[in-house]
Amino acid sequence: MLNTIVIILLCTGVFFFLGTTVGLLRFPDFYTRMHAAGKGDTLSTVLILLGFALYNFHHPSLAAFLTGFKIIFIVVLIFIASPTATHALMDAGYESEIDPWTGKSSNSSAEEES
């Protein structure tokens, strides 16, 4: 039963990593790409690390408990640090006056100017 939960967590984490990659490649501007990276990276990393932590409890011992505790501690740090870093990068982009995507192509604005 524990192996099934671990496999589900790991596969779900990899699925969200793939979704994050697709978002980074397909979204049109900096802000939407950062949104995909921030959300997907945090969720997928947390799911994968929780799967690893549960896998360590397969054979209960003090060493497995300490390793699982360290992994859970890393999950908490990532859960705090990743959204904070994403916010800092998006704020830096905003301060650098990176324009968000408005849905208009660059060709249509060039045609309107002429």
* pLDDT score, position 14: 95
Give residues with Cβ within 8 angstroms of 83, minimum separation 6. Answer: 38, 42
Selected residue with higher pLDDT from 60 and 77: 77
Cβ(58)–Cβ(2) below 8 Å: yes
**Which of the four pLDDT bands, split at 50, 70 and 90, describes residue 11?**
very high
> Is pLDDT of 113 > 60?
no
| Angle at the Cα of 113 from the Cα atoms of 112 and 114, rounded to 5 degrees | 95
The domain segmentation of the chain, as residue ranges, is 2-98
DSSP reduced 3-state for 106: helix
2 to each of 7, 50, 51, how far by Cα in Å? 9, 12, 10
Rounded Cα distance, 29 and 98, in Å: 9
* pLDDT score, position 29: 87
Q: What is the mean pLDDT of the chain?
A: 87
* pLDDT score, position 109: 52
* pLDDT score, position 102: 81
